[in-house]
Amino acid sequence: MESKRQQKFAGLLQEELAAIFQREGASYLPNTLVTITKVRVSPDLAVAKVYLSFLNTNNTSLSVATVNAHASEIRYKLGSRIRHQARVIPTLSFFVDDTNEYVEHMDKIFDKIAKERKDTDEPTDADQ
């Protein structure tokens, strides 16, 4: 369970990182839209796990590796934006947020189950 302090700081980081990726994300990943879906912060506010979602990319693992390669540069830009609001600029780790893919997978499974039920519930000619 995150404290209110962690939640507020995570919200600030999410907002500022979104602005950084909106303005300068094309230099890291051209023709790719990056969305920060969630930020988790350690209790001491020194480490932040940033979960990203990508649009217009074929290889999400390569995209997140590219962003992680630029993590120190992104941290520097974040530090210049929040230097008056935070005492410590956290170390950033980027991860792929695959909840959308999981939801789509579960929807397909539920559709398949519903279709199978519908097929078994329909009366056949022998039943009439």
The predicted-structure confidence for 79-106, as pLDDT tens digits, reads as follows 999 999 989 999 999 999 877 777 778 8
What's the average model confidence in pLDDT over 59-72?
A: 91
Residue with tokens 């991860």: 95
* The pLDDT value given to residue 125: 55
What's the average model confidence in pLDDT over 63-71?
A: 93
Q: Which CATH class is domain 4-98?
A: alpha beta
Calpha distance 85→76 (Å, rounded): 15
At residue 104, the 3 state secondary structure works out as helix
Residue with tokens 């909106």: 22
Average pLDDT, the chain: 88
Contact residues for 37 (Cβ-Cβ < 8 A; gap 6+): 51, 52, 53, 97, 99
Higher per-residue confidence, 61 vs 104: 61
Helices (H), the chain: 4-28, 60-69, 71-82, 99-121
Band of residue 1 on the pLDDT scale cut at 50, 70, 90: confident
Nearest C-alpha neighbor of 29 from the set 84, 69, 75:
69
What's the average model confidence in pLDDT over 21-32?
A: 88
Higher per-residue confidence, 102 vs 47: 47
Exposure letters 90-112 (e unless 16+ CB within 10 A, then b): bebebebbeeeeeeeeeeeeeee
Contact residues for 56 (Cβ-Cβ < 8 A; gap 6+): 31, 32, 33
Residue 8 scores a pLDDT above 80: yes
Q: For 101-126, what is each residue's pLDDT tens digit? A: 777 788 889 888 888 888 877 665 55
Residue 10 — left, alpha, or beta (φ > 0 → left; ψ -120 to 50 → alpha)?
Answer: alpha
